[in-house]
Structure 1
């Protein structure tokens, strides 16, 4: 289920100089915003909730998920270098699960740590807000990685479609349209944040915790399963 060679190649591809700079940009921006708000307003629970929920969880986490998830496999498929990997005596399931684990690890590193630090800066973790959003980002990172890894196996425009989903569906409709919120990874993960934080933290989700966990698990499982099928189909197509 895990191959060190595949993992090493995937880490190298995702953490190249250019992609690492892109991955670092949003976390650095989050920290700059947190410092600026703290200096201007002092510790503020509402500001922490708005910044961590409205920017970090709604925009930063899915965008980093797009970069890590699609970048784990889409470039290899686009340039044809995936055939060298497929020629190895490796189960397709091992290739996908290894790339998924790498994408999850990178997404977690570039989201949860900055969110936790920013939350502490903004309100000293009052009402457990920093921990709540960090936990939400962690579970969302897993689901996003699986969904965007799948997208990388089915479309040559995976990054474009991923950005549309992250910016339009998650960041815009996921915050503004009631019906869309129930079909948003952001809202599913917010259910966990709502449970962890104190009642006065003003963190709410449109779904219950049980529903959120079920949907996050379903999205991760289905995305991984179908990505494996797509990779097997790609192998057969190459053989034909």
Structure 2
């Protein structure tokens, strides 16, 4: 991984107006949790309806989509990626730097409010588990969305289709599709870590961990291969 590229990416990502989109969802999650607690909502209602239904199903994937498609996709769109590609830097290091930044930002912006919301809901046992699971989910989502940003000109649209249709609709109706749903990986891992019966899914933590690794590796590999097609003669790939 190239630390210089990682630093430039982080500075550029947080300096864009797009970064402002990272703020509302965490605040909404914590606010709704606080309101639910104040009006007497039960722990299972807050855990399943808010922490999972809003945090895992909406906050995590949308934050990861915004960040994952932004760390490289915006540079491809405005042409500034050429400045990076003309440097003698292996494509794999460029992608790994972008992936590290996307995972870090998505993980922090998702995991911290999830932990805070769990504490507000008096579900302290779920807080660390959800935070850790969100960090793992952020890695898988980031690899997936980073690959989309290199493969297509419409990464946000395709990412939304995956999140809304595949994860939001199909995976909650057709059990078989959950094995290819990062959302359910996060739930399974959080349930395994916490041992809580308030959340759960039909796939095992083992399958969730393995598939998270598969998506991460596959997405990273695809992004590297695709970025290599942008090579200029004489460059190192």
Q: Report what 1:152 is aligned to.
A: 149
Find the aligned partners of 2:172 and 2:39 in 1 and give their Cα distance: 26
User: Which stretches of structure 1, 4 residues or more, deviate above 3 A after TM superposition?
Assistant: none
Q: 1:48 to 1:37 in 2, by over 3 A?
A: same
Cα deviations across residues 27-77 of structure 1 (Å, max 9, x unaligned)?
A: 111011111111111662432232111111011101111111110101111
Gaps of 5+ in 1: none
Q: Which residue of structure 2 lines up, in the alignment, with residue 219 of structure 1?
A: 215
> 1:2-29 CA deviation, whole Å, 9 max, x = no partner?
x232112211222125222101111111
Which position in structure 2 is the counterpart of 1:25? 24
Residues in 2 aligned to 1:198 and 1:231: alpha-carbon distance in whole angstroms: 41
* TM-score, normalisation: structure 2: 0.92
CA contact (8 A) 1:23 1:64 kept: yes
* Residue equivalent to 1:203: 199
- 2:224 alignment counterpart: 228
Q: Secondary structure at the match of 1:202?
A: coil
CA 1:49–1:197: 2 relative to 1, 3 Å:
farther
Check whether the contact 1:197–1:203 (CA below 8 A) recurs between aligned residues. no
Unaligned runs of 5+ in 2: none
| Corresponding position of 1:111 | 110
CA distance in structure 2 between the partners assigned to 1:42 and 1:186 by the alignment:
24
**Deviation (angstroms), 1:139:** 0.8
For 1:1-80, list aligned pairs within 5 A.
1=1, 3-41=2-40, 44-80=43-79
3-state SS in 1 of match to 2:77: helix
Give the TM-score normalised by the residue count of structure 1.
0.91
How many residue pairs were aligned?
Answer: 235
Q: Distance in 1 between matches of 2:173 and 2:126?
A: 22
Give the aligned CA root-mean-square deviation in angstroms. 1.9
Deviation at 1:163, TM superposition (A): 1.6
CA–CA separation in structure 2 for the residues paired with 1:74 and 1:169: 22
In structure 1, how many angstroms separate the alpha carbons of the residues matched to 2:119 and 2:200?
Answer: 20
Alignment of 1:68-217 (within 5 A): 68-125=67-124, 128-199=125-196, 201-217=197-213
Q: Is the 8 A contact 1:13 1:71 kept in 2?
A: no
